[in-house]
Structure 1
Amino acid sequence: MFDQATLIIGGESRRTGSAGLLKVTDPATDEVIAELPRAGAAEAVEATRLAQKGFAEWSAKSTFERYQILRRAAQLMRERAETAADVMTREQGKARAQALAEWNSCADLLDWSGEEGRRTYGRIVPGRAADISLSVHHRPVGPVAIMAPWNFPAWGPMQKIAPALAAGCSVVVKPSEDTPVTAWAIGRCLLDAGVPARAVSVIWGQASEISDALVKAPEIRKISLTGSIRVGRIVAAAAGAELKKVTMELGGHAPVIVAADADLDALVPMAVTWKFRNAGQVCVSPTRFLVDDAVHDEFVGRFAEQTSKLVVGNGADPATQMGPMTTLGQLQSVDALVHEAVTAGAKLETGGARIGNIGNFYQPTVLSDMTPAMRAMNDEPFGPVALVMRTHSLDEALAEANRLPVGLGSYAFTRSDATAARIAGTMRAGMLGLNHFALALPETPFGGVLDSGFGSEGGTEAIQSYLTTMLVTHKH
């Protein structure tokens, strides 16, 4: 796929870009694995103009026909899964089993969204006069600009693509320049399944230039972004100036409340698996473990011991449990947070250093004796680092969980229904996992509150966000 990948503009392959060439690097080997055309504002403007025409074609199809096409696209994704997983592992670094699961989950998301798109019903409202009927209609908002991250090169774009297409919108997708080929592979599945050519574009390159052009393009009627809070503020402000709809998923700093009655036998293996999945580069990765004093020492000992046994290596190796971090810059940022915390008094239980000098490998790390004053407890590490803070009451744990101005994923472990109910009623977050960590499913809303953004991806809420509402009153 690396040799085949090109920009896709209005469904057509483009082997040159106005911004030159983009080199894609394998984060496990530092090898340049692809040289691709690099787009700029010119390609973004062209893609949006074609998306307007593609929107007219795609939105004119019946919801049933769109459903059939998206189901075909999902089947093509499953047929191409092995090759796509290889690509994802090479350009992003995650263990291949995780890459394969991610790709196949995207096929499920297309299936579900296509089916749910058939149910974007309006409603009849009883009129106040016998000769007047009232009805509410839902219409696709128009062409959509999609800005996706590098940590989930398939799931990230597909959380936006699937509901947008299911609603009848056309899409211009801007994947991360670190992981463009996976998004290209998704684009090919959509087009090969029969989505109208001008309804799909996939462009990468000069990130700020492309994003600015997409937001300002009059054809684009909605922007959906997954990114940092800083970038989210910029994009949301620019979209607001143009009065465009937005969905913002801006990350978090997920707390994990471990109550005195938590089942450590169940929790510890789950915590290791979910904390170090994708090298911790997950916006809902469990990060701040707020552990009751009664079980603190046992939890830390068992958690650190199991963490130290994780196999770190090239994601292509079947034995690998955690691959490299995707970028050297992110590795350096994580390393700085770890060393600052240790200098400030945190205890390094395991890990805490880069592995070798080839690839972006970092040891799975557990830090205890964390305090709210440490930078790592305030700035999301977004890497393979677990932070453990001792707490002495549920009140203290909840106060720390809600201290930051972010609220995306959150978790709590307790055997008490009363404690669980109190946590659910107090936690300030878009999502809460009680006694487990899985949050993202096609049929459930995914999103945050406060600085973690607004709007939902997944569930009926996602499709509704790509629709507008129209009231029709008819005097007979």
Structure 2
Amino acid sequence: MSYDTDLQMFIDGAWRSGEGRDAHPVVNPVTASAMAEVPYATAHDLEEALAAADRAWPEWRSTDVEKRGAILHKVASLLRERADHIAAILTQEQGKILAEAKAEVMGSAQLFDWYAEEIKRDYGRTLVRPAGQLSRVIRQPVGPVATFSPWNFPIYLLAKKVAAALAAGCTVISRPPHETPGCATEMFRCIVDAGIPKGVAQLVHGDARMISSTLIASKEIRKVSFTGSTPVGKHLMRLAADSMTRITMELGGHAPVLIFDDCDLEKTLDMVVPQKFRNAGQVCVSPTRFYVQESIYDAFLKGFAERTQKVKIGNGLDADTRMGPLANERRPEAVGALIEDAVSKGARVLAGGSKGDGGFFFQPTLLADVPNEADIMNEEPFGPVAVTRAFSTFEEVMEQANRLPFGLAAFAFTENGRRANMIGDLIESGMVGINTFAISVADAPFGGVKDSGFGSEGGKEGLESYQVVKAIHQA
């Protein structure tokens, strides 16, 4: 299957290609070879994009919500029509299997549909005042927005930002990662073909440091939304402080999974193993630290290892592949170093543990008896590695679950209703899944606490993150 896309930027209502600009290779993670080159934005490109976003904002914010919604619905329709094409590009750029890539495109369409309708339900409120007086609270779009999205879900996480911002009445300048420019470009083709007005939605490729420092420091950008690592997020926060720019940060995680002895073990294993190796573990909410009650620990390890060894790795375009390669050449080395450190400190390798053949492949891996001193128990592996430890009491496992500075997602498997309620209350995480991994849905907020960031995307909260609150008092 050929890499069928024309890598371009979209600035001030026009598509732009190389035209003398610097370019960066786009690498297929299966072969580690370049497929194409993506043009990088110049300083002049960014100046034009900022001017266009600022110029287009007054008209877009005043556009009737029915018209805004109709455009977003059309984007959703085009995404569904082009899902096979976009998914194939996504798989070739990022490595995930084709079924996961298509599901991501379809989920992105759902986001555009959901926000197209949610903006129609964006109500203000009136306050109780004496006769003849009126106090009301309204929400208004914050203004031009800069979005920065990662390579692990390059369509869905971009859509989550852009759909909400456009629905709220904001203009948008988006910078996707250089690993996955093609699928992002194809999503913007859907936005353009849906009839978005000139200057309202813009796409720029290029150097992350140059683009982020330029956009965040500009007087035009009123809001920044970033999904990525905690260190980069903290750097962008410092930049935003100088310009007092509002920010939403969805940063790293290291999700604990609490497995209690009253769960349906076989059913639980059938859920957790595929979820662990979804997108080769490159998921910010991936289940990673498995804490298993002592009485079922050995059985859990045996069942997990057997299932892990059956996960077929290969080209994501092949129908029988269940896990593709990692997204770039940095990831196999980083994952391998974490495993080596864990083994040196007493962990046991029960499955996998090494690189695959060629490309950026890494074997699905299960580690047992991993001590807290191991780096992998304290740093997000962002790869196909499950780490396990046994626990005895509820108090002990809650302490372990909350031990790290991360708090994006957490999961638990138990049939005890009271215990489930306690976990939901006590665990320090922005999202909790109990007997389920379905925590990223259009109508629910998605975000973390502690070093995993702040603010939410998705749901009503995602729309509100692109709005400012105004109180109007009239006597």
Gaps spanning 5+ residues in structure 1: where? none
Q: Could you tell me how far apart the structure 2 residues matched to 1:431 and 1:46 are?
A: 39
Instruction: Specify the code of the residue in structure 2 equivalent to 1:10.
Output: D
Aligned residue pairs: how many?
473
Counterpart for residue 272 of structure 1: 273
Aligned to 2:289: 288
Do residues 416 (structure 1) and 405 (structure 2) align?
no
Which residue is equivalent to 2:392? Answer: 392
| 1:72/1:193 contact within 8 Å kept | yes
- For residues 73-112 of structure 1, the aligned pairs below 5 Å read 73-112=75-114
- Cα deviation, 1:75-104, whole Å, max 9, x if unaligned, reads 011111110000000000000000000001
Deviations 1:62-82 (A, max 9, x none): 111101110011101111111
- Partner in structure 2 of residue 303 of structure 1: 304
The CA distance in 2 between the partners of 1:103 and 1:405, in whole Å, is 32
The 1-side partners of 2:196 and 2:67 are apart by: 10
Deviation of 1:137 after TM superposition, in Å, equals 1.6
Match of 2:67, SS state, is: helix
Deviation at 1:473, TM superposition (A): 2.1
Over residues 305-338 of structure 1, what are the superposed CA-to-partner deviations in whole Å (9 max), with x where a residue is unaligned?
1011001000000111000000110111011001
SS at match of 2:121: coil
1:18–1:40 contact (8 Å) kept in structure 2? no
Residue identity in the other structure for 1:442 = A
Provide the TM-score with structure 1 as the length reference: 0.97
1:324 and 1:359 in contact (8 A); partners too:
yes
Matching of residue 373 in structure 1 with residue 373 in structure 2:
yes
1:191 corresponds in structure 2 to: 192
Instruction: Give the match for residue 133 of structure 1.
Output: 134
1:31 Cα deviation after fit? 2.5
Alignment of 1:430-441 (within 5 A): 430-441=430-441
Q: Can you list the C-alpha shifts for 1:123-171, whole angstroms capped at 9, x where unaligned?
A: 122223x221112121100010000000001011111111101101111
Aligned 1:425-464 pairs, distance under 5 A: 425-464=425-464
Give the match for residue 210 of structure 2.
209
**Change in CA separation of 1:243 and 1:392 when aligned onto 2, cut-off 3 Å:** same
In 2, Cα distance between equivalents of 1:72 and 1:122: 27
Q: What CA distance in whole angstroms lies between the structure 2 residues aligned with 1:120 and 1:10? A: 29
Q: Is the 8 A contact 2:345 2:373 kept in 1?
A: no
Which AA in structure 2 matches 1:51?
A
Out of 9, 27, 30, the residue aligned to residue 28 of structure 1 is: 30
Give the aligned partner of residue 16 of structure 2.
14
Deviation of residue 17 (structure 1)? 6.7
Contact 1:172–1:202 (Cα < 8 Å) also in 2:
yes
Deviation at 1:417, TM superposition (A): 0.8
2:58 counterpart residue number: 56
Q: Please list the CA deviations of residues 342-392 of structure 1 after superposition, one character each: whole Å capped at 9, or x if unmatched.
A: 111100000001011x21111000000111111000000000000001112
Structure 1 position 470 matched with structure 2 position 440: no
Cα distance in 2 for partners of 1:18, 1:216 equals 26
Distance in 2 separating the partners of 1:41 and 1:159: 27
Contact 2:5 2:186 (8 Å CA) reproduced: no
Counterpart in the other structure of 1:345: 346
> Scaled by the length of structure 2, what TM-score is found?
0.98
Q: Is there any run of 5+ residues in structure 2 with no aligned partner, and where? A: none
Q: Which residue in the other structure is 1:404 paired with?
A: 404
For the Cα contact (< 8 Å) 2:217–2:242, is it kept in 1?
A: no
Aligned to 1:355: 356
Q: Is the 8 A contact 2:253 2:409 kept in 1?
A: yes
Give 1:41's aligned residue. 43
**Secondary structure, in 3 states, of the residue corresponding to 1:390?**
strand
